[in-house]
Amino acid sequence: MKRNILIVVIVLLIVSLGLAFFFFKHGDMTEVSINDKFKEIGYSKKEVSVILDNVLKKDYDIILELGYDESLTDILTTDGYDAKNFEKYIEYYMKNKDANISDIVTIMNSGFYLASYPASNLLASLTLEKYYINDYVARYLDYGNSHDMNAKDIISIVNSKADLEFYSESYDSNLDVNNLVLVNKFYHLKEDYTPSDLVSLSGQYNRGANNKMRKEAADALMKMIDVARLENIILYNMSAFRSYDYQVNLYNRYIKRDGKEAADKYSARPGYSEHQTGLCADLNEISDKFDGTDEANWLRDNAYKYGFILRFPKGKEHITGYKYEPWHFRYVGLEAAKIIYEDNITLEEYYAYYIEKNSD
């Protein structure tokens, strides 16, 4: 019995060694064979070594079909090269042979479908930006190719629709997003829209006739005013909710005084005023003199902690469509306010990336 078991063990051992030797030799022959094939189509010993080190075996046939191309090793040694994307690199490279190899790798690494767009440094730069939206790529390129500016600014402008003429297109504001509703020179509210949860600001919190806000925004504003007062910063509302009819009279008065073109730079057309949302407030002094005051500086640095943003910041006029207003603060909630503040973006930019893009 023991002898039979021993014989079986020996036989199994011999078979195992034979199979191991076979596969070892088979593997060597395969590697030798592929080495020879790469050399036959023109690759040097050094280039073959680079290929074997950087290309998955399943993609060897792509190289053999491609034939010798001196740019192949440039692709394989470019920063950011990922063997899993090899087939994408080659397909895109074949359409863009004169393009910078680094741009090709960057564009294909982005994960966005861009195979139909010519490779360029501009396109590669765009895909690296945080707020890039693939649906807008054609507009990014159109705007970028006709304006000398960096990729970040191109994306900011296009995402905000500021590459279009203000008021050239009109959309109904999406009330379903609640505190994040966007009202600007493209998005408008109905004539009869009035928030159902308006409450009045009074006492130390208000010195203006337009003293109503939506309850959540009003609670946040009063909390902010209370905290600021502890730091000897006195804040109060001067103008919050305004009805559609109120804005009609205000806007027409500005037109009569300064003309339509000038009025559009600082006043909203009826239905396009953020004040109709009940989510914003003009604080303290509605004047350029407010800029640089202790109160304005405190608001700039702290308002986001209470869910408010400086709605029309300096340097963003081309995006918001309005001149800098250091007194105008808009409630968007804590999460959005923190992102907008830390990333130094506008509500338009936030809305495009976090609301519109995700609703498709």
* Cα gap 171→158, rounded to integer Å: 16
Q: Which residues contact 340 (CB under 8 A, 6 or more apart)?
A: 304, 309, 332, 346, 347, 350
The pLDDT of residue 253 is 96
The pLDDT of residue 359 is 76
Structural contact between residues 348 and 182, judged by C-beta atoms closer than 8 angstroms: yes
| CATH annotation of 171-359 | 3.30.1380.10
The pLDDT of residue 257 is 96
* Cα gap 174→355, rounded to integer Å: 10
Q: How far is CA 220 from the centre of its chain?
A: 27
The pLDDT of residue 116 is 96
Which helix (H) or strand (E) segment is 343 a member of?
Answer: helix 334-343
Mean pLDDT of successive 10-residue stretches along the chain, which has 360 residues: 52 49 42 87 95 96 95 96 97 96 98 96 98 97 96 98 95 97 98 98 97 98 98 98 97 96 93 98 97 98 98 96 97 98 98 89
Q: How far is CA 31 from the centre of its chain?
A: 46
* Residue spans of beta strands (DSSP E) within the chain: 171-172, 187-188, 198-200, 206-210, 212-214, 237-239, 280-283, 308-310, 328-331
Q: Is residue 342 flagged as an active site residue?
A: no
Q: Given 274, 325, 348, 349, which residue is catalytic?
A: 325
Both structure tokens of 164: 């279009």
